Amino acid sequence: MEKVVAIWSSVNWQNLLALAWFLICFRGYTHYAIHKTRTTASLASIMHLYRYDWMKRMLERDNRIADMSLIANLERSVSFFASSTMLIVAGILTLMGTSEKALNLLHDLPLVQPSTQAEVELKLLVMICLFVYAFFKFTWSLRQYGFCSVLIGGAPMPRDLSVSDKERQILAARAAKICSMAANNFNFGLRSYYFGLALLGWFISPWLLMFSATLVVYVLYQREFRSSTLQELVTSDPSRI
């Protein structure tokens, strides 16, 4: 704790300003995207509708091997990023143990603003926190996909007359919601990777971090609310094919 306090006390105002702006971009965009999705078409909201259609059609099939295979494929993608995140965290922890060598390496690079060892350690600590956050999001996404697998496995068969149409619709909506929650947590983890790339600019200059974080927000917004993929998902018309 004393070392953390010492690090904070020795960081200049430019780095503190850059860190504050980074946190505003990271947390602010997350809250903005969540609230905007409720009233505006986005990749998250449109894909939820497709997942609901998927679950309704799943209830009409006797054989659900393909559905379980799709869930398993999604789990593999999340598992890959979760494993990669742990390797990244381990690498950063190793680098923190040799922060003095990292500082000497940075001083030898062109265009790099001079930093103290405490500032380098702060930057590495922020990166660790970011990727630990991503790891928790990826692992929670894995568990939620597992819950979705249970719902599919326990879904009634089409010929089961003891289950009403309303109950089937409720089950489809519940399974689609859990699947969308898993996808959203996976998306939060991926966003951490985007912002992790922005953090790399901090080792060059705090102003570059502020620019990079702003650029990441712009890219994320364009992809989630203005991308051609979203437009195609919204306006897809079979008659145009």
Domain boundaries, the chain: 44-226
Query: Which spans in the chain are helix H?
Result: 2-9, 13-37, 43-58, 65-97, 99-107, 117-153, 165-200, 206-225, 228-235
**Range 141-152 burial, b when 16+ CB lie within 10 A, else e:** bbebbeebbebb
**Lowest-confidence segment of 59-73, 90-104, 166-180, 198-212 by average pLDDT:** 90-104
208-234 burial, b at 16+ Cβ within 10 Å, e below that, comes to: bbbebbeebbeebbeebbeeeebeebe
pLDDT tens per residue, range 25-67: 999 999 999 999 888 899 999 999 999 999 999 999 988 899 9
Q: Is the pLDDT of residue 113 over 70?
A: no
Hunting for tokens 């953390």 — which residue is that? 4
Q: Are 191 and 224 in contact (CB under 8 A)?
A: no
Share of the chain above pLDDT 70, in %: 85
The mean pLDDT of 178-206, rounded to a whole number, is 93
Task: Identify the pLDDT of residue 235.
Answer: 80
Q: Is the pLDDT of residue 159 over 60?
A: yes
Q: Tens digits of per-residue pLDDT, 208-226? A: 899 999 999 999 999 999 9
pTM of this structure = 0.87
